[in-house]
């Protein structure tokens, strides 16, 4: 069994003007595709071939670095595309909105904390909203690490993710990562965030 690059649920230009079509196309067909291919090549003929990506990530310290980097890249982008939607943005509703208020005070405070985590991640990495033992937390990870990995400093179930690698924004935003982060809030698929929370 090998891992497959998922199709996006929207067109490459559907997230304009917040994320441009060229960035989306390269990000999906080059970057995500490369993580997928390299993961498959790295596990070819090993026991990992019969495991789910989550099972691999949970024990990632037992694998070579190439599996950590490309397995993380494969999984993180699968999540990321689904956390974006042309119909996204605004404020969450329902149980996830209540949980955000419980753990961050207000939606604005949550947004500020998540944005700061994304902005302050030095170099390449990700910002996350995670759930751990029923509690919500904002964290960030370097490179393609994620909160499922046994090597993560803080572990939990990913509820929302933002890619802050330069390849995610440089064509449109160049060095202005803060502008990309601000634009991201217009795309957040809160239904998907709630699905993750309730799953």
> Is 15 or 100 the residue whose CB approaches Mn ion more closely?
15
Rule CB under 5 A: is residue 131 a binding residue for Mn ion? no
User: Least distance in Å: CB of 120 to Mn ion?
Assistant: 18
Q: Binders of Mn ion among 148-177, rule CB under 5 A?
A: 163, 165, 168
Cα separation values, 155 from 78, 107, 141, 149, Å: 19, 23, 10, 7
User: Least distance in Å: CB of 134 to Mn ion?
Assistant: 30
Cα separation values, 76 from 28, 98, 108, Å: 12, 26, 25
Residues binding Mn ion: number (CB under 5 A): 3
User: Least distance in Å: CB of 102 to Mn ion?
Assistant: 31
CA 175, 75, 140, 149 torsion-angle sign: negative
Contacts of 135 (CB under 8 A, 6+ apart): 103
Q: Which residue is nearest to Mn ion (CB)?
A: 163
Rule CB under 5 A: is residue 145 a binding residue for Mn ion? no
How many separate helices (H) and strands (E) can be counted in the chain? 9, 3
> Is 33 or 182 the residue whose CB approaches Mn ion more closely?
33
User: Least distance in Å: CB of 114 to Mn ion?
Assistant: 17
User: Least distance in Å: CB of 109 to Mn ion?
Assistant: 27
Q: Tokens representing 155?
A: 């572990």
Q: How far apart are CA 195 and CA 198, in angstroms?
A: 5
> Is 99 or 144 the residue whose CB approaches Mn ion more closely?
144
Q: By the criterion CB under 5 A, which residues form the site for Mn ion?
A: 163, 165, 168
């Amino acid at each position: 069994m090998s891992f497959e690059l998922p199709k996006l649920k929207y067109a490459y230009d559907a997230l304009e003007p917040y994320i441009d079509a060229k960035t989306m196309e390269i990000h999906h067909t080059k970057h995500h595709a490369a993580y997928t291919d390299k993961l498959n090549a790295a596990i070819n003929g090993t026991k990992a071939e019969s495991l789910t990506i989550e099972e691999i990530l949970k024990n990632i310290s037992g694998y070579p670095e190439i599996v950590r980097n490309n397995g993380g890249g494969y999984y993180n982008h699968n999540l990321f595309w689904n956390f974006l939607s042309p119909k996204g943005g605004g404020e969450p509703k329902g149980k996830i909105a209540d949980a955000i208020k419980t753990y961050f005070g207000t939606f604005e405070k949550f947004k500020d904390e998540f944005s700061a985590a994304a902005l302050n991640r030095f170099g390449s990495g990700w910002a996350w909203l995670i759930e751990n033992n029923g509690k919500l937390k904002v964290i960030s990870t370097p490179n393609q690490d994620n909160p499922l990995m046994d090597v993560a400093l803080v572990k939990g179930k990913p509820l929302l993710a933002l890619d802050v690698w330069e390849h995610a924004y440089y064509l449109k935003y160049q060095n202005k990562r803060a502008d990309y982060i601000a634009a991201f809030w217009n795309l957040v698929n809160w239904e998907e965030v709630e699905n993750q929370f309730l799953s």
